[in-house]
Amino acid sequence: MNSPPPMASQTLLSPPRPPPLQTTPSFQRQTTVTKRARSSSIVSVQEIPENYDDQLDQGALTNVNATWVNYKGAWLIHVVLILSGIVLLDIIPGMTQDLAWTIVNLGYLTISYIVFHYVTGVPFDLANNSGVYDRLTLWEQIDSGAQYTPAKKWLTTLPIVLFLVSTHYTRYDSHPALFTLNLVSLVAVGLAPKLPVFHRLRFKFFDAGTTPEPSAPPTPVEESMHAGERDFSRFTS
């Protein structure tokens, strides 16, 4: 009578079972949430890129937001506004020439900075710009962004002449504070944004950047997925 094969031979045919995975219940685990460091910078510089498609769209459309700068009388209107401001301030009782010319100088620099270097896009022709000027300032739109054109030379020379006239009437030898204020405003607000080195550059102060999501313990679904991956790796190894 044949005897049955030993049990050891049967156990060799079946693959070994992995040991049971010891997991800790979620209510017994310590939940620790650590926040990642938030990257920040005092001054960040961003450059507006220029591609070939935007150049084609800009050449195919007439930008009425910037073409008026080269119209007849567009240069003279700056002088008229400056003289009108001086006349209106002289009417105010007690207004001295020192203060009047300083106010006109600072007012012209502030308004010109907002119009030419702060506002972006085409606010008065939204239907025919195709969005190619949405991120460009008026100064960057004038003459298709070309530098040292007659219009840009005039807009750069006028603040310098206004500064020289204002310093003459404010008697800078007797009022050094007004002279310093006018000079710093001219360089920082009137001339620096017009330099070609700052063309298509945007400066953001105290930009905190994007805040990443905080890291937290894995969810039960993620734990089950990782447990299945570990079991499969043990079985195949």
Model confidence over 43-92: pLDDT tens digits? Answer: 788 888 887 777 777 777 778 888 899 998 999 999 999 999 999 999 99
Question: What three-state secondary structure class fits 205?
Answer: strand
Annotated domain spans of the chain: 41-204
Q: How far is CA 156 from CA 5, 113, 116, 190, in A?
A: 103, 12, 11, 8
Question: What three-state secondary structure class fits 180?
Answer: helix
Q: How far apart are CA 141 and CA 120, in angstroms?
A: 9
Q: Are strands 41-47 and 201-207 parallel, antiparallel or unpaired?
A: antiparallel
pLDDT value at residue 90? 92
Interhelix angle 97-113/76-91, rounded to 10 degrees, is 140
Q: How far apart are CA 191 and CA 200, in angstroms?
A: 15
pLDDT band of residue 35 (cuts 50, 70, 90) is: very low
Model confidence over 99-151: pLDDT tens digits? Answer: 999 999 999 999 999 999 999 988 876 666 677 888 899 999 999 889 999 99
pLDDT value at residue 140? 93
**How many residues in the chain?**
237
Mean pLDDT of the chain: 78
Q: Is the distance from CB of 166 to CB of 182 less than 8 angstroms?
A: yes
pTM greater than the 0.75 cutoff: no
pLDDT band of residue 237 (cuts 50, 70, 90) is: low
- 189: how many CB neighbours lie within 10 A of its CB? 18
